Amino acid sequence: DAGVIQSPRHEVTEMGQEVTLRCKPISGHNSLFWYRQTMMRGLELLIYFNNNVPIDDSGMPEDRFSAKMPNASFSTLKIQPSEPRDSAVYFCASSLRQAPNTEAFFGQGTRLTVV
């Protein structure tokens, strides 16, 4: 299996622009997670889906952030408009089940820089 695939790997954009991050989870995994990693705040869970349905989006920082999962093999995280403080590494992860004892598998991340 190719693992969790994220694109792009790097994104540089200007403040105010829309940014879309993409994720393909591992085939057969039912849960998908979006995390953000910064030096200041570490790893933060933004949102997670189970069977394509958003379960918990309490970590989404603002209305500028939105996430969708139109099918079992694709998810997007959109930031509109982007701001410099959104600069971070964004990880997508998937797990076989929703159960809290199930490990997650992470993609390589998208390094977002907003200038």
Partner 1 sequence: AQSVAQPEDQVNVAEGNPLTVKCTYSVSGNPYLFWYVQYPNRGLQFLLKYITGDNLVKGSYGFEAEFNKSQTSFHLKKPSALVSDSALYFCAVSSPASGSARQLTFGSGTQLTVLP
**Residues found near partner 1 in the complex (CB under 8 A):** 4, 31, 42-43, 45, 48, 50, 55-56, 91, 93, 98, 100-101, 103-109
How far apart CA 80 and CA 66 sit, in angstroms, is: 8
Residue among 79 and 104 whose Cβ is closer to partner 1: 104
Return the sign of the alpha-carbon dihedral for residues 102, 108, 113, 114: negative
Residue closer to partner 1, measured from CB, 80 or 98: 98
Query: Nearest distance from residue 31's CB to partner 1, in Å?
Result: 7
Beta-carbon contacts of residue 51 (< 8 Å; ≥ 6 apart): 30, 72
CB nearer partner 1, residue 16 or residue 61: 61
Cα distance between residue 33 and residue 93, in whole Å:
5
Question: What is the closest distance, in whole angstroms, from the C-beta atom of residue 81 to partner 1 in the complex?
Answer: 27
